[in-house]
Chain A
Amino acid sequence: MEISEARRIVLALFAYRRRAGLNLGVSELLAALDAVAGGWGVEDDADLHAMLELLWCKSAEDSRELGVQWENVLAYLATHKDSPTLPETTPESSRPFETPPRLEQSLPPQETIPPRAAASESTPGWNVLPVKAPFTPAHMDEAPDFHSYGPVSSRFMTYTWRYLRRPLPDGPADVLDIAATVERAARQGFFIAPVYRRRERNHAHLLMFLDQNGSMMPFHRFNRDLATTAQHDSALMRTDVFYFHNLIAQRVYADPHLTQPVELSEILGACTVDTVILIVSDAGAARGYRNSRRIRETAVFLARLKQVAAHVAWLNPMPQARWENSSAEMIARFAPMFQMDPEGLSNVIDVLRGQVMGQYAS
């Protein structure tokens, strides 16, 4: 394979992957072109494919995707010998979740006989025309909202918990204070011992109430991620997680299977000035119920929470557009409620830190 040919494939594949909404940067393109210029991947197609896979793919799924895209781009380039890269993006194919450019539409009619066959043919004779079945893209759900409203990764959760902190210097005195040490040595005229400060510890106490079962069934994984990241991967001094189903009454449960009841008064009695409370529930938005009993009791419960905790926030796994006309719409008036996406989770943390959000500023 010529270097120019390899460059052409790399450029076309890069453009194709960018258009497919994959997160590839210019530096990755430059790296691939560098490698090609240095003689990598110019042996044959498989060699180039392997090289690009190493550079551009970070998981088995990535590699599978690249395999499909590779086929498409090669098939396209074989029929478009002279165009440098893929054709201009039509408005249709520029949409993020519609990957494949429609080959059969963009083929000019005179190129149905590939130029390669025509050029290499010096003596007349019978020949099989290379035929490639037109690429028919698989049906995709046209729901870009669904895609952008994706789940929150556990890494993001861990990052976010970090912003929830109330640092107090009451840990072991083992942080060397160099400035104070030098200053004291200068004042006393001799050096006796280094000065240590107390280590700061995060005194935040997070109390989480997670709605389980019923309409929350699809979000159990998210609940679990929230609970485990807060309990194990955060610097919070204390995290208590309790579970309930639909309504919080006298008791909540210490386990996700709702078998070990705990008195609510006991839990609220253990709250301190550092306690913040996070509730995760769809509040009836998943099925669109509007249940006045649920609204009333939740309001009473929220009022009780506000008496003992510094801040209360509500995370709703359903998007905000679905709250309308359900209990969630009403309950959102009693407590700051956010939909579950990275932004919503960040907002929740802001509320729990005591920062006033615009719409709840009154």
Chain B
Amino acid sequence: MPSSTVKQYIFHCNLKEQPKDEHEDVPNTPEPYIATPELIRAVNLAIYLRRPLLLEGEAGCGKTRLARAVAYELRLPFYRWDVRSTSKAQEGLYSYDAILRLHDVEVKRHGGETGTKRDPANPKDYRRFGPLGKAFCVEDRPAVVLIDEIDKADLDFPNDLLAVLDDPWEFKILETEETIAIGNPALRPIVFITSNKEKGNLPAPFLRRCIYFFLKFPDQQLEAIINAHYRDKKGPNADLIKAAATKFLDVRQDSALFKKPGTSEFLDWVEALRGFELPDQKPPTVSPEALPPYPSLLFKLRADWLKYTGA
């Protein structure tokens, strides 16, 4: 059970500007995010139980942005780990530069200066923490960790990760014989994991440990999202937003599309409609009948492109 000595964090998804924080890893620029009540519930349940929140859903629906929005609102340090096909679970914890240490020993022995504070006698100077390792080291509050696109990694990756994200919440650094552990359950990191199901389902033991949420496309909230993003800047006028949102949803309704544009494409598109102008042309208008302007921002496959450019 989470102890009561550290405050209980609750995510409300408000768009208020937050005060600056002295911890260098706390995000200090706002992350406008509109979440449904169901998603907010999922986030808070994940925070309460400190189980990883696994987010799946269409590309460009805000899977990746959520973690940073949570970290910003709750003023928690944020560590992002972009998983690649060669990623190993240990890289997220730490890496150890043995060769640099050997190099420093040699330089020192021959009277040279390394020009740094590294001391070859101290192995701790040669270990570097990865995103997850850093999250284990934050002492006064839990950290937010984003493990992005976990499905890209090797098949074993999720299972290896499981060993760390579970009791007893510790890992060993072999080279320095340290054990990094989180004593206070309230300081366990809040982990967000995103997946696109590139290699099929994740392994069952991993899924069992996670809280699962499927992000749907925010049909009803497009206007709210635009307003959140242009809160401090001069935004497009309300008519344009409304017309753009309607047109965009129209396009998405088209079941013959091979790849549906997501929220991030919508934001780019609205920004182009608002601010982009060619010198000798009138700004384009969005009308329900005509083809959408700037199709380059919406259609990323040849077949879709041909269909919507009228070519």
Which single residue of chain B is at the shortest CB-CB distance from A192?
Answer: B106
Interface: A58 (CB within 8 A): yes
Determine if A194 and B213 form an interchain contact, defined as CB atoms under 8 angstroms apart: no
Q: How far is the CA of A190 from the CA of B109 in the complex (A)?
A: 10
* Smallest beta-carbon distance B97→chain A, Å: 11
Q: Which residues of B contact A231 (CB under 8 A)?
A: none
**Chain A proximity mask over B1-32: 1 for CB below 8 Å, otherwise 0:** 11000000000000000000000000000000
Contact with B along A43-71 (1 / 0, CB 8 A): 00000001100110111100000000000
Q: Is B183 at the interface (CB under 8 A from chain A)?
A: no
- A50-B45 Cα distance, complex, nearest whole Å: 11
**Residues of B contacting A40 in the complex (Cβ-Cβ under 8 angstroms):** 45, 48
Cβ of B99: which chain A residues have Cβ within 8 Å of it? 176, 178, 181, 194
CB atoms of A158 and B1 under 8 A apart: no
**A57 and B212: CB pair below 8 A?**
yes
Give 1 or 0 for each of A148-169: 1 = CB within 8 Å of chain B CB: 0000011100110010000000
Q: How far is the CB of A191 from chain B (nearest CB, A)?
A: 4
Q: Which of A28, A50, A58, A181 contacts B38 (CB 8 A)?
A: A50
Q: CB of A37 within 8 A of chain B?
A: yes
Which residue of chain B is the closest to A181 with respect to CB atoms? B102
B311 contacts partner chain A, Cβ-Cβ < 8 Å:
no
Select which of A23, A38, A185 is within 8 A of B48 by beta carbon.
A38
The residue of chain A having its C-beta at the shortest distance from the C-beta of B99 within the complex is A194
CB-CB under 8 A for A35 and B45, given A23-B204, A54-B211, A58-B207: yes
Q: Answer whether residue B155 sits at the interface, using C-beta atoms and an 8 A cutoff.
A: yes
Contacts of B49 in A (CB 8 A): 31, 34-35, 55
B98 within 8 A of A: yes
- Cβ of A265 within 8 Å of any chain B Cβ, yes or no, is no
Contact in complex: B106, A191 (CB < 8 Å): yes
| Distance (whole angstroms) from the CB of B161 to the closest CB of chain A | 16
In contact, A54 and B214 (Cβ under 8 angstroms): no
Set B2, B199, B213: member contacting A158, Cβ < 8 A: B199
Which residue in chain B gives the minimum CB-CB distance to A40? B45
Interface 0/1 of B103-136, CB less than 8 Å to A? 1011000000000000000000000000000000
| Interface pair B200/A154, CB less than 8 Å apart | yes
Say yes or no for A350: interface residue by CB 8 A criterion: no
Q: Is A25 an interface residue (CB 8 A)?
A: yes
Query: How far, in whole Å, are A154 and B72 apart by their CA atoms in the complex?
Result: 39
State whether B211 touches A55 (Cβ < 8 A). yes
Chain A residues contacting B106 (CB-CB under 8 Å) are 185, 190-191
A155 to B212, CA, bound (A): 20
| Residues 177-210 of B contacting A (Cβ, < 8 Å) | 199-201, 203-204, 207-210
Shortest B156–chain A CB gap in Å is 9
Given contacts A34-B49, A35-B48, A35-B49, contact A233 B199 (CB under 8 A): yes
A300 at the interface (CB under 8 A from B): no
**Do residues A155 and B102 form an inter-chain contact, with CB atoms below 8 A?**
no
A225 CB → nearest B CB, Å: 9
Min CB–CB distance A59 → chain B (angstroms): 8
- Using Cβ atoms and an 8 Å threshold, which residues of chain A touch B201? 153, 155
B200 touching A28, Cβ below 8 Å: no
Interface residues of A, dominant DSSP? helix
Does A27 have its Cβ within 8 Å of any Cβ on chain B? yes
In the complex, the answer to whether A153 meets B200 with C-beta atoms within 8 Å is: yes
Counting chain A residues whose Cβ lies within 8 A of the other chain, the interface size class is: 20 to 34
Cα separation A182 to B106 with both chains bound (whole Å): 11
With A27-B208, A54-B211 known to touch, is A178 a contact of B98 (CB < 8 Å)? yes
Q: How far is the CA of A194 from the CA of B210 in the complex (A)?
A: 42
Give the residue name and chain of the B residue nearest to A190 (CB). B106
Residues of chain A lying within 8 A (CB to CB) of residue B103? 191
Q: Contact mask B28-54 → A, CB, 8 Å, 1/0?
A: 000000000010011001001101001
Q: Which residues in chain A, 189-203, are within 8 Å of chain B measured between CB atoms?
A: 190-191, 194
Contact B41 A50 (CB under 8 A): yes
B2, B54, B98, B211 — which one has the most chain A CB atoms within 10 A of its CB?
B211
Question: Within the assembled complex, what's the spacing in Å between the Cα atoms of A34 and B48?
Answer: 9
The interface residues of chain B lying within 8 Å CB-to-CB of A59 are 212
A51 cross-chain contacts in B, Cβ below 8 A: 41, 45
A74 to B23, CA, bound (A): 48
Residues of B near A155 (CB, < 8 A) are 155, 199-201, 203
Q: Are B1 and A34 touching (Cβ within 8 A)? A: yes
B204: nearest chain-A partner, CB-CB: A23
A28 to B51, CA, bound (A): 11
- Chain B 43-69, CB-CB to A under 8 Å as 1, else 0, gives 001001101001000000000000000
Q: With A50-B38, A154-B200, A155-B201 known to touch, is A182 a contact of B45 (CB < 8 Å)? A: no
Q: How distant is B196 from chain A, measured CB to nearest CB, in Å?
A: 15
- Which one of B41, B102, B204, B212 lies within 8 Å of A191 (CB-CB)? B102
Shortest distance from the beta carbon of B52 to any chain A beta carbon, whole Å: 12
Q: Which residues of the partner chain A approach B1 to less than 8 Å between Cβ atoms?
A: 34, 37-38
Q: Can you name 18 A-B pairs with beta carbons within 8 Å?
A: A28-B208, A31-B49, A31-B51, A34-B49, A35-B48, A38-B48, A40-B45, A54-B41, A54-B42, A54-B45, A54-B212, A58-B54, A58-B210, A60-B214, A154-B200, A155-B203, A181-B99, A190-B106
Given contacts A54-B212, A162-B155, A191-B106, 4 further A-B contacts (CB under 8 A): A24-B208, A27-B208, A190-B106, A194-B102
State the A residues within 8 Å of B (CB): 23-25, 27-28, 31, 34-35, 37-38, 40, 50-51, 54-55, 57-60, 153-155, 158-159, 162, 176, 178, 181-182, 185, 190-191, 194, 233
* Those 10 A-B pairs whose CB atoms lie nearest each other, nearest first: A191-B106, A58-B207, A58-B212, A155-B200, A54-B211, A54-B42, A154-B200, A178-B98, A31-B49, A54-B45
